[in-house]
Amino acid sequence: MKHSRIVQLSIPLALAAGCTTGPVTGQLGDPGVALPFSGYTEAKGALITTHVLNNPGDSLANAAFTKIGSGIGSVLPQQLNDPQPAYPWSVSARALTQTEWPPGGVVRLKAMRGTSDLATFDAAGLSCAFSKVQAGMSWITAGQACSSPYPNPSLITMVSASTDPSHDVTSPSYLGIRSGLPAYPGLVRPDDREPTSAHYYDTFAASLTLTQFKSDYGFTTGNVIRAVYYNHGDLGLARDMNCVATTINSKAVTACYVSNYGRQPGGKHAPAGFGADDLDPQTALGQALGVQGIATLPFPSSANVPIATVAMVYNAALPAGARVQFVVYDAQGNRTTEAALDHGGLVALGAPQTPTTANIAVPDNCLTCHGGSSSYTPSLNGPSVVSNAHFLAFDPAGFEFVTSPSYAAFAKDPTMSKLKVLNAMVWDTQPAPATLALLKGMYLAPPNPQAINLGPKDPASVYNPTFLPAGWTFDPAVDEKKSRAARQVYNEVVKPYCRTCHSSHDAGLLDFLSYDSFLTNSYSIGTMVCAQASTYPMPQAEQTQVRFWSGPARAHLMSALSIPGTCKP
């Protein structure tokens, strides 16, 4: 942003004793580098000290801090929109040790004037204050309005992104694992799971090939809606999505298949990149939209070959709660019982007789995201039943679109119109209540108090990228801090990393429909995210893990929920 440096260095903001304008909560860094602090105070030539939490694992209720720097503020005031002058200060604090700031974890800092803690900000708070001061507001009032909205406004939480749980590919339990199924406790050989997955397919007579699937569900004759996009929000792949809405035996059927692209470059043409650094989204989109290669074995003739194709069907003829089924097809279009969702899954596919925690078996790997309240009962004798699985909303907030003029028909604007049609199809598949709420919020119709909110099914509705669910919306006139904290946590944490999968929960606290329910779950969220000590470590997909741990999300999550500890892998 053009004014970002001006905001940090030149806009004086304060609460009662002053404030810290840098560093800010959510800022990235690492131990071993000296930290510059800056801010403002009402007092001329004030002594400012900076501090770090002694032990990153300390409870915040009993926090003790060590001084890491000190300095004297300016005696020359700055005057901005207020009779009260502002005196700038800066402190060059010493570098932190790896004990004080473990690599990959968070660190908590603060600045003090005498015995008083100084208020802090995050990047959004600085922008907020800049705008208010530019509009003529007193710098003191702007500081009060835009300082940290979290329970302890004097704490600065910085993030080290030097490592994350997904780096440990030898332990892929982080990566989309859906353990805890009675039939599959602990380590399991992929080969041992194949029979029950095959029987699952037999239960509903899954099409043997992708070509047959297209024929069985009307893709050769129906009105196929196709959208191509890169999904940052889950697997880190380009998706060629195709869906039809039809009827079979007078019952409504929605069928989709999505071919996934993103093979690593360098002539390998084999393993999926899953968001690897050497495979950018535009390259993956080019693989999906370019002239298709031939799926020769063991490696395809080019990178322009699907890694795998996943199909989903909603069939209203099936019993309620069991109407959604899954099928996976390999690069050659043949039905397969296994699909890798991450690098750990690729390792497991290559060693089918080696016990692993990687979840590559259909359908329970699909259920990791397509049904937070779902269940799978595998059997070799009776029906293998999937219950409460759901179609997910197509969430453009996590998508990237092709930019090459060669594929203008698949650029953002035409694809957004296709995604609205696809979301209207999802609406008709009995999705979870939270998914319906998401669809209603994402597609804003013109105000009409007499109308029923039909989300993407309303021809007049348009995609609203900034919507905030009702449960995360608070009147700033009643509780300004809670209003800002909720918006910040939703936009920095829930929206990019949680909402797609958690909206598949049928009910309860885990659908994240409200900020209050999110706060109620603070202990379990902290355990699943920071300690990764759970059957369901969060986020559950490798690509989501990498993105979550490489950005500021942990700082906002821990600050809002008062989660103690360092939150390192």
- Residue 8: how many CB atoms within 10 A of its CB? 19
Which runs of consecutive H residues, i.e. helices, occur in 147-290?
Answer: 190-203, 210-216, 281-289
Ordered per-residue pLDDT tens for the chain, 569 residues: 333 333 333 344 444 468 999 999 999 999 998 999 999 998 999 999 999 998 777 766 667 899 999 999 999 988 766 777 889 999 999 999 999 999 999 999 999 999 899 999 999 998 888 888 888 888 788 888 899 999 999 999 999 999 888 766 555 555 555 444 444 445 777 888 888 899 999 999 999 999 999 999 999 987 999 999 999 888 899 999 999 999 999 999 999 999 999 988 665 555 677 877 668 899 999 999 999 998 887 778 888 999 999 999 999 999 988 999 999 999 999 999 999 888 888 888 888 898 887 888 899 889 889 988 888 888 888 888 899 999 999 999 999 999 999 999 999 999 999 999 999 999 999 999 999 999 999 998 877 767 788 999 999 999 999 999 999 999 999 998 999 999 999 999 999 999 999 999 987 778 999 999 999 999 989 988 998 766 678 888 888 888 999 999 999 999 999 998 899 88
Separation of alpha carbons 220 and 216, rounded Å: 9
The answer to whether 256 and 242 have CB atoms below 8 angstroms apart is: yes
Contacts (Cβ under 8 Å, ≥6 apart) of 289: 228, 240, 402, 406, 407, 410
* Confidence at residue 176, expressed as pLDDT on a 0 to 100 scale: 53
pTM: 0.92
- Three-class secondary structure of residue 240 per DSSP: strand
Of 486, 534, 540, the C-alpha closest to 514 is 486
The answer to whether 540 and 342 have CB atoms below 8 angstroms apart is: no
- Three-class secondary structure of residue 230 per DSSP: strand
Question: CA torsion angle for 57, 58, 59, 65 (degrees, to 10)?
Answer: -130
Domain spans of the chain, in order of start: 4-165, 167-421, 432-561
Burial 377-386 (b: 16+ CB within 10 A, else e): ebeeeeebbb
- Residue 7: how many CB atoms within 10 A of its CB? 23
Phi, psi values for residue 165, rounded to 5°: -60, -30
